[in-house]
Amino acid sequence: MFSSLPFMYMFFSVMGVGTLFSISSLHWLGIWAGLEINLIGFLPILVYQKSMSESESAVKYFVVQALGSSLLIFGSLNLYSLSFTWETLVSSNIGPSVSLFILIMGLFVKLGLFPFHFWLPSVMAGLPWLSCLLLATWQKLAPLCLTMSLFQFEFSYALLLVFCVLSAGSSFVGGIGGVNQTQVRALLAYSSIGHLGWIMFGLIHSEWVMKSYFMIYVFISFCLFMSLWYSNSGTMKNLGSLKESGLDQMSVMFMLLSLGGLPPLLGFISKWLVMVISINSHLWSFVFILILGSLMSLFYYLGLFFSLFLSNLKKSNNIKLSLYNSNFVLMLLLLLNLFGGLLILMMNVLEIL
């Protein structure tokens, strides 16, 4: 899954430099070049093990990212023909246009936001855990930051309404898409689509809320993917028979519940921030669709949680053994997800009082 050979560090460096170059660039041509450098560094990581599923996922990812890059460069070229400059500050301030919409659509294709979400579950289903973690977290950083830079300018109410519809659709698709999933990777892909809807809806109202949500999502995803990597659980059936049932199994399940946003876990705090910031907005009605998508995600998370909990009651001896043999890192990640959300919630309540 991960090699300590020097070329792997080189690919990681190229991927990171491409993202940072894209974020720090002031021209659309530099942004496009940074995204392409990031893609060049990420593709060899996907196909390192040379398995059939990884090669298929890498080809799908390359085709979709090429489509997003084509829309991005096409929209930026059209903006250049209108503003005669590559600078983002000037070309994005010319008002609503078809070119700007095409450019934003290219960013949404790279993110996997509804209705361009079709590629993400099939790509993540064939990747190892480390590649899934990078795809769900780091690869979303540059398109999100570029979308955030576009929101510095005044959009029309119709365009904001379109963004709200896409955000609500992402949350709804992320909730309903994971109901019949048996693969954990595909389930987490639909969960990522649902969280993208919340992130985009938070970005419409506040950049600080979007950054806070994304940081919490990255932290929970890191805890969950590391736990699944340690337990080597690729399907729902494997979750019921982990290497060490008991605390290791419960840690994975509590992290899934935290990712779903069950109060008072850490994942609930980010959703609570989005709901609070949107109360005084005229677009607050879309919050109900976002909550509905999260409830559908919690439905299959809780069903899986209770089935595993009842199966563990029949293995009381194994549970006692696992409490002593449990990995310390998993226990620490579990405690952070359990009490992190409660601690932040108490700090906010004390600040209000």
Q: Following DSSP, what letter does each residue of 206-227 receive, concatenated? A: -HHHHHHHHHHHHHHHHHHHHH
Residue boundaries of the structural domains of the chain: 1-128, 156-353
DSSP symbol at 132: H
**Whole-number percent of the chain with pLDDT over 90:** 0
| Residue 309: per-residue pLDDT | 64
Beta bridge partners of 87: 27
| Residue 89: per-residue pLDDT | 53
CB 305 within 8 A of CB 262: no
Nearest to 35 by CA among 102, 110, 136, 126: 110
Query: DSSP states of 170-192 as a string?
Result: HHHHHHHHTTT--BHHHHHHHHH
pLDDT band at 252; cut points 50, 70, 90: confident
What is the rounded distance in angstroms from the CA atom of residue 18 to the CA atom of residue 141? 11
Within 10 A of 240 (CB to CB), how many other CB atoms are there?
Answer: 15
Bond into 264 cis (ω within 30): yes
Name the residue type at position 317.
N
Nearest to 148 by CA among 227, 109, 92: 92
SS3 for 241?
A: coil
Residue range 64-86: average pLDDT?
80
Residue range 208-232: average pLDDT?
82
CB 124 within 8 A of CB 186: yes
| Residue 323: per-residue pLDDT | 39
Lowest mean pLDDT among 36-45, 176-185, 199-208, 212-221: 176-185
Quick one: CA dihedral 25, 194, 218, 204, positive or negative? positive
Name the residue type at position 18.
G
Tokens 């029949």 map to which residue? 314
pLDDT band at 4; cut points 50, 70, 90: low
